Structures are given as structure tokens and as C-alpha cells.
Structure 1
């Protein structure tokens, strides 16, 4: 395998200028706070090593650098610390940078031929960075001619060419939906009610409902809800299982201009009550009366349907602006309290229209509805295909837990678009590999919610070489997916999360809020019509995650961004690669989980003195939760899993709980998570 490198003629610059350029490139491509420079010279017997802060160099100019003033920035000559960006500059013929695997970036100056060779370490960079480094090197060499007193801050920014690529090509996502974006979901669906009144809109087991009946029942339910006091932007949690009734009542809530808040009946009572206490509902829709909601105003689904028959026409549709809230979905929170994400109608509608356009959803499409109503992907699964006259088929949890039955149902129902989390796809593929299925109607397999691995891609295309995979990525805070990656074969070198969808723009930033070059890891931030309003009644967390920034060369002074906390980088093709989280938030089975929330719940359990939760892959390659607790209680782990069910939904309860005498610590007193992994036995 060839080493990623590039070589350029440098016959008009001095060694000092080349070292300046090299350090400027290192600062630009560095993602760490410290840089460790090894300087090897043919004039020196031994190498010199320098450690300095990345940001310390930014204000220094070429003249100051050449005069040797930069040495005052060195923390300590010859010193070394962990988590540094390691670079080597050498003009020694005997030096072989390929032998030094700790280097992130190396430069070899061949004085005989006036050539500079730059070499990257593939363990730290993707090869795509070479094109950017080449562009940067040429740009700096040109700048050096015209401005010999160039500063590091001027030299380490994006070149004009890179700006044009990121803004003009990668983020060329403007899409004019016309008046659709300013309409209610109800108004958009009216066309299908008029044009295809008798077409089946939703199917659930042996039950069906047509577009006309769906609209009529939603009208009646909206009237009934109005009589129960619901009005514009009323907060209405729905505590019921997935069904035709659930979709109908959500439709009714939106007809009123009210806010839909999903709740899962399988949630622990405490979690349901925590969410209700936070959102302070105006009315709760339940399957049947329950003690968990007794202190709030409720109406049962059956009562709502019964009273709806005589309530027709007694409500006034209310939709004041596209910025009105469509729904609030609660996600995991670091303090043990779930966060209510507020999404506007225009963000939701934009996402539905993107799905229709990108997946070529038509009146002939049959989309599987597989996700929990508390998972944000349920929104597009329930409502996108209806807008063009397509059909939704709802599969309940019992069916999904029986892969053989589910696969047979998919074939029988002629499903052409289905979405899974990778861990569930892994389960299905095991069945398919034992008993092959044709899936002749399926056009797209969408995966989301977890990292998609090569093994799954390979196995899928070995069974279904003509059915593409769509790797979808996005946070709840930005109306669900913000990228789509279409994968057509297993002949891929990496698995991207895709390109920005319509009317959403994505940037990769470093710790200084500066844009990262192509191929360099940083935090994924997103702006556009889908970015939500923030967290319900939580100004602190909203201001921390939703920020206003000015991105140069975009033609826009200030834009509102959501900071995903995810690490990614651009590829040359304009796709984004995903590398994990900045913090302790993870996704398992599609659900977003804050590990600190699990630790907080463990702290409530009897006998637990300390607790920490980590993730680990099991032998099947699936992510699992493992908790370590300090407890003097006998058989603590056996009763704690049961006790956790009172505080956490099932998907957040760790697969394993290990009791340890004490939690291992790093030298600086932090919990040593790497040591904890040594305690795990499969």
C-alpha cells in the first residue's frame, strides 16, 4: 500500500520559510491543543524537540519567526505530553519519516532537488486531506512571495478554493418548495383526500383506513379535542401504542394547531411523570385511565372517538405561522431529566418533502412504519408517503420481535421502503442467511441511529446486490435526518453518513469555532430550516446547544446553529464521515442515550455508592451498555437491573452490571474507563 504523500518544488524559499509554512499547515490541520515538533537538521548531531500550544503561534509573523522569537512560546524544549499533534521537519537524507508512526504529519526537504515532501499518517487522517494540504502549500508559497511578513493566523485559515468547495458545492442545498413550506400538514394532505379519497392510506394488521376516512375521523377528533379545551399550541401528550388511531389523533392535533408530544406506554411510571411535569400538558390522550397521569386532565382514545362522532364541524382550524411548534420529543438528558426538543412545522414539512424527493416516494410507495413513536424517525415514517398518496403499513412490537414473521409480512405487504437501526438489521440478516427471502418489492433499505459497519453492508449486498442502502444521520434537534448517504455496493473504502439534505447546511468546526479543512475531524454543526427552537423551558441547555455564529464567505452575517456534539469530517466528494461523540452521549438501537443519565438512575438504587456506565461491543459487533457499581449489598447486580426499570426505559437498562470494590482512577483522579473495559468478560 502506498504512503499518502505529495512532493512540490520549493526552489525560491529559505529553510526558515519552509519551516514556517510547515508549522502553519500543522496548525491548520491540528485537532489537538498541543503541537510537538521534532526538528532534524543535517547541521545538527541530534534532533531538537519542542512542545507548544497550538493557539500561541497564531499572532506570530514570518519575520518574528525567522528572528527566533518563537522559541519563547515553547513550553519546554524536549518535553512531551499526551494528546499532542506530532510533526517532524527534516532535511536529513538519512531520515525516513515512514518509520516514525507517532507522527501525524512529516516534512522531508530534499535540498539537492529543491523538493519538499509532505507525508500524512493514515491512522490519523483520511487520504482526502492531501488535496487540501496541496492547495494550502501552493497558497502559502504564493502568499510568501507577496507578503514576506505573513502571520500564522493568515496562513492556517481555509484557502479561497476550500471556501468555494465547502460553501459553493458541499452546501449547495437550497430548494424552493414553493407554498408547500408555508402550509399545514392538513392543507398539504387535502390534495390526496380530494384526488384519491378511496385509496388506502394506512394499514395495520387486518385494518385499513382510506384517505377520506382518515381526514374525516381526524376532523371529528379535532372537534372533540376542541370541546375538551384544546386550542392553538396546546400541549397534548399521547400515551398509547402505535396504531391507526395514533396517526389519526396526531393529525387531529395538528389540525387544531396544537403540539403533539409522544409518550410510550412501556416507559416507567417515573419517566412518564417526569416528562409530564416538565411539559405541563393541557390535555393527555390515553388508551385507558392510569394512575401515572391521574393528576392531569385526560381523555381516553375510545371516549375521544365516541364523542367525535357528534362533534363534527365544531372547531376552528388554527395555524398562525410555519414557526408554530408541531411536536416536542423528549430525549435523554445528562442530569437524569429528559430534554424536550421543540420542532416547528416548517422544519418537519421540509424533512418530509426531502424524504419524498430523495427516496422517490410516490402514490405507489408502501412505507413500513417500524419505529417507536418516541423515536424521531417515526414522524417521517408515519406522514411522508401520505402527502403523495402512498401507503403506510404499521408493524407492532410483537411482529418486529419475530424476525421470521416480520420478513414474511414485508414480502406479503409489498413494502418498498423500510428503515432499521443497524443492530436490528444484524438480527434480520441472520434469519435471511438461514432462510433467504426475495424482498422483490423493496427499493430502499434505510439505516439510522447507530454506526453502520462494513460487515453489515457486505452481508446486505451479498444477499441483495440490487437494493441500495441509505445511511441516514441527524439529530432530533434538527427535525431528524440532516444527511443521506446512498450506498449501491459493498465495494466501498469507507461508509459515509452522506451529504446535507435540502435547505440544511453543515459545517465542521474546531475548538476555536473555525472551519476545519476537508479531511480534518471536528464537531458537526448544522443550520437551516430544520433546526428546532431549543429545549422546552430549559434556557441554559438551549443556549449551550443552539448557538449563533458568523461563518465567513457565506454571504450571511449570523446564522443559528445546532451543535450536534458529533465528530465528523468532509471527504473530497462532499460526503461526511462520522467518528463518534465528543461527550458521553451515544446511540443504541437508534435511541439517543446520555450515559450520565444511567449513572444518575443507578445512584437512586438501593446500596449503590458509586456508578459509571460505558459502552462495549459484544461478540456480534453490536453496542451494549455495561455498568460498574461500588456496593456492599449482597447480590446487588441482580436486584439493581430490576430496580432500574422503575427509572429508565428498557433500552437504557444496562445489559450487564458489574460490582467492583472501587472504580479505577487515572493519575489526575478521573475514572479510568479504559481500565474498566479490562473487567468485561464476554
Structure 2
């Protein structure tokens, strides 16, 4: 197949205005700079023209396999340029992509394929039998000739059509799918383009799994601004030194990263090994920032990089707010006169997003009070896939001036209103935690692990490692003399994604309880873990 670009004539100025669909905005970028490098991975480089042509070819095949628009198509692919090709092809064909990370356990993939009612799976390897009878189109073999050499008209796609469905952890033990439409993603990219100085000569990384919603921003933030996206291999992402070397070698200018990963990069940077990176932006998401890491980075590499904190949720399309960390704040020596928690401030909502913090009565809180964060506006999804009761609970209709109502999302996150009017993140109202940027419902882990044979009682709590890092620890009881640690760790690997597997498994004679008879999670979180069983290599 000859790579060429077949898109409509572009007459408007190149930018993010006008088009409400992801693939059409990509086409505009491709037509403006067809020979620019769009994606680079271990296999080589793909230009914007090549990516447009390859995705157009694959989209024609998808329309042949799934002629009716609106199908959900699973992506079971190793991280690489072909993931982006597949995403664009699914969108061009009027369908919705559903990530199926091959690194996830077969049971999780089975649940996702069944719950999403996939019409087709795109894969570059054998698909686990657990995914059932869903048809598979393999991308690791030569594709069929283009079935539409004369380019029959593409299907009409509404901006409200879901672009993707990403599954998040569920408190009931079952993951829940979040369909996010084209219009939400476009609103995100446009809002951030107004907030940040994004340039066509930027180089971004695809650092995260495409099952993690941070990747939505990484992929489309790069490609819809005309930049180059560098795919970070999983082995490199797991090595701070290799990651730092890649940032320098590839000339990366925009890095999106969770703070716990950045901490490891900073530790390597302080050793002085490797060339300094060309970073213009480090955009944090998923966790609270430790300002000491940012200051340590600046001590090594200087003050050229801009650091931005974000707050966001899958259900509200990646980001809700952004908060730049200023030179004045970062240069200020930490002492008793400074605010050590300023990096916990949520910052300003993106254009089109609205954030309220409400008390139990639904009224806005006053200075000094703490309440739940409620989000409305351009990024709020329509709800959970086929979960009407949970949708009604988490996506209520709140009244707005004029007597109308507006769909919002109850985040379950807490914030405190400071005297200066800023909101500061203050934790969770439930048992959800954040580990390495992933929002994790402890109830889902407990439900999976409690299915293991011989387990009597089991709870999972967030603990802290000796290095001060957040971790998950499973505490359980079993029959006397029955040491389940290794078997329970094996069961966890078979049934849970890697980011949800507890770091330690601790067997106790009995679980502590509070005076009211509930499991005392606070006491468990402070127990020594010297006799715990670590999971085997993942």
C-alpha cells in the first residue's frame, strides 16, 4: 500500500477551531504538515501523511467488518505506533475504541470484552480465550487490500458519539466503563491549548498505558497540536535511568507524569548521569505533588522547565483544573513562614469546566470548611456504561440559575476552602485511593482476593513503604496453620491488573475492629510488615 493522505481540502486556518471530531482535527493537522513526524516508536517513524493513510485503510476494513456505526471495538495491542493507527481508524469508521491492555490479566480482559459487548477486537497477538467468541482482526499480519479504493463516503459521526470507553476501578468489585464522546476530548485539547504554549515542534511521550486516561491527553494533546509523539517502551518506562536517557535522546519537551514516577526520575537526575533533557513542560496528574522533588530537579537542571499540577478524573475527561507552580513559590526556601502544602491547591478550572465544593446539604462550603468536589461542564461524561443506578448516584442533575438543571459528577474527592478563596485537595470520602496515578477502589481488590480458596476475612488498606511511597497491603485471616501468602499473591496476579496487586500480603490471627465492630483500617495501616509475603515477580 502506498502511504498517501486523502483528506478534504483545508481552507480554514490550521488550529483547533471548527471541527468537533477528533479524526477531522487530526486530518487538518496532517494536511497542513504531511511530512512531519507524527509518531516514533522502536520500529521507526510515521509521518502525519502515513498515519492518515494507514488509519484510512484500516477504517475501510473496519466498516467492512462492522458496517453499522456505533460499534465498540477492542484494542488488544502492544504499545506502539499501530495503537494510534487503530484508534484513528476506529474513530474514522464511526465506532468507539475500548482499550484491552495485553498486560492485564485474562479475567479482566474477559470482563471488559463481555461488559462492553465488543463487536470486534484488533490485536497483534493471540487473544486470550477468556474474551469469548468476539471476532478478531489481526494487525500483525498483512491486511487485506483496501476494500474501498474509491473512498466511499465516511459515516456521519455525531460529536456526542463516544470516542472511547475506559474502565475504572469499581467499589462493588466490578470495573465500570466510562464512555467519553468526541466533543469532550476536543473541549479538553482546546482548553489546554489556551492554557499552555503547545507548539508543532514539541516532542511528547506516550508514557502510560492506553488503558489509563492520562494517555488520552498524551496522544491527542500531541497529535492535535501537530507535535511528535514518542512511544516509551514498557521496559524503558520501568527504568528511571532509561527514561531519563530517552527524554534527552529524543529531545522531549512535554512530559506528562504522575508525581511518584517523577520522584524516581529526580533521584536518578541527582546522580549526574546522562544529558539534561529539553523539557519545556512537566505536567503532573493523578497524585499529589511533593515539591521537594521539583526543587531537586531544578537544582540539577535549572529553571527552564515549567511545572504544572492538574486535578482530574476519568469521568470528567482527564483534567478539570490546572495549577502552574511559579518560580517564586519554587525558589522560596522552605521554612516556617512558607506554606508547605501549596502544591495541593487545585488551581483554576479549564475553560468550559466548572468546579464546586459542597457540604452534606449540597450547599457551597464556606472558608475553612471541607466538602465534596462536584464537577460540571464540558468534560462530564453521560454516565457509566449500562449502569443506570450507579449513573444516577454519581452523575446527579444539579439546579442552575434559571430553573434548569445540569448534569454533574460527584467525585468523592474532598477539598477545603482556604481564606484566599483557593480550594485545597483534602483526600477521599470513601475507600478509594490513588497509587501511581491510578484511582483504585479497595472494594474491587477485596472482592477479587476474597474469592481465593481458604480466605476467611480480607481487607486491603493503603500503607507506606520504608521509602515513604504509598502502597497496597492485603491483611487476611485463614485456618490455623494454613499459610496462604504465596497462593494469594498468585491469585492476585491472575485476577487483577498489575497496578491493583497489593505489595504485601499479611496473615493475622484476627483482624482488629473498632468499638462499633467495623474493621479497624487505621490500626492495620500502622502495623509493621516485616513478616509479610511480597508478591512474586509480575
The TM-score, its normalising length taken from structure 2, stands at 0.89
**Is 1:423 matched up with 2:260?**
yes
* Alignment RMSD: 2.0
Q: 1:435 to 1:315 in 2, by over 3 A?
A: farther
Q: 1:439 to 1:351 in 2, by over 3 A?
A: farther
Partner of 2:487: 639
CA contact (8 A) 1:202 1:391 kept: yes
Aligned pairs for 1:172-571 (under 5 A) are 180=17, 183-290=20-127, 291-303=129-141, 306-307=143-144, 309-313=146-150, 316-435=153-272, 437=274, 439-466=276-303, 467-489=305-327, 490=330, 491=332, 493=339, 494-495=342-343, 496-551=345-400, 554=401, 557-571=404-418
Displacement after TM superposition at 1:241 (Å): 1.4
Of 430, 435, 439, which aligns to 1:592?
439
Q: Which moved more, 1:282-291 or 1:602-611?
A: 282-291
- The C-alpha deviation readout for 1:301-335, integer Å capped at 9, x for no partner, is 135x5115454445532234211111110001112
What CA distance in whole angstroms lies between the structure 2 residues aligned with 1:524 and 1:181? 32
What CA distance in whole angstroms lies between the structure 2 residues aligned with 1:266 and 1:662? 34
Displacement after TM superposition at 1:190 (Å): 2.3
Partner of 2:472: 625
- The C-alpha deviation readout for 1:233-261, integer Å capped at 9, x for no partner, is 11011111111111011001111121111
Structure with the greater alpha carbon radius of gyration: 1
Displacement after TM superposition at 1:645 (Å): 1.0
- The C-alpha deviation readout for 1:465-495, integer Å capped at 9, x for no partner, is 4122111110100011111110134236221
Of 444, 449, 453, which aligns to 1:606?
453
Displacement after TM superposition at 1:559 (Å): 1.4
What CA distance in whole angstroms lies between the structure 2 residues aligned with 1:654 and 1:386? 36
What CA distance in whole angstroms lies between the structure 1 residues aligned with 2:102 and 2:279? 31
CA contact (8 A) 1:356 1:362 kept: no
Displacement after TM superposition at 1:439 (Å): 3.2
Displacement after TM superposition at 1:228 (Å): 1.1
Partner of 1:66: none
CA contact (8 A) 1:184 1:319 kept: no
Displacement after TM superposition at 1:412 (Å): 1.4
Partner of 2:509: 661
Aligned pairs for 1:38-117 (under 5 A) are none
CA contact (8 A) 1:182 1:346 kept: no
SS at match of 1:469: strand
Partner of 1:129: none
What CA distance in whole angstroms lies between the structure 1 residues aligned with 2:147 and 2:405? 51
What CA distance in whole angstroms lies between the structure 1 residues aligned with 2:380 and 2:177? 14
Displacement after TM superposition at 1:206 (Å): 4.8
CA contact (8 A) 1:499 1:576 kept: no
Q: 1:398 to 1:455 in 2, by over 3 A?
A: same
CA contact (8 A) 2:118 2:134 kept: yes
**Is 1:675 matched up with 2:513?**
no
SS at match of 1:604: coil
Q: 1:315 to 1:231 in 2, by over 3 A?
A: farther
Partner of 1:616: 463
Displacement after TM superposition at 1:661 (Å): 1.0
CA contact (8 A) 2:317 2:379 kept: yes
The TM-score, its normalising length taken from structure 1, stands at 0.71
What CA distance in whole angstroms lies between the structure 1 residues aligned with 2:150 and 2:81? 22
CA contact (8 A) 1:230 1:282 kept: no
Aligned length: 503
What CA distance in whole angstroms lies between the structure 1 residues aligned with 2:76 and 2:273? 38
Displacement after TM superposition at 1:563 (Å): 0.5
Partner of 2:9: none
Displacement after TM superposition at 1:497 (Å): 2.7
Partner of 2:536: none
Displacement after TM superposition at 1:438 (Å): 5.1
Q: Which runs of 5+ in 2 are unaligned?
A: 1-13, 333-337, 531-538
What CA distance in whole angstroms lies between the structure 1 residues aligned with 2:295 and 2:402? 42
CA contact (8 A) 1:368 1:392 kept: yes
Q: 1:507 to 1:600 in 2, by over 3 A?
A: same
What CA distance in whole angstroms lies between the structure 2 residues aligned with 1:435 and 1:235? 47
Q: 1:592 to 1:230 in 2, by over 3 A?
A: farther
Displacement after TM superposition at 1:454 (Å): 3.2
Q: 1:434 to 1:480 in 2, by over 3 A?
A: same
CA contact (8 A) 2:448 2:495 kept: yes
Q: 1:416 to 1:574 in 2, by over 3 A?
A: farther
Partner of 2:6: none
Partner of 1:114: none
Partner of 1:173: none
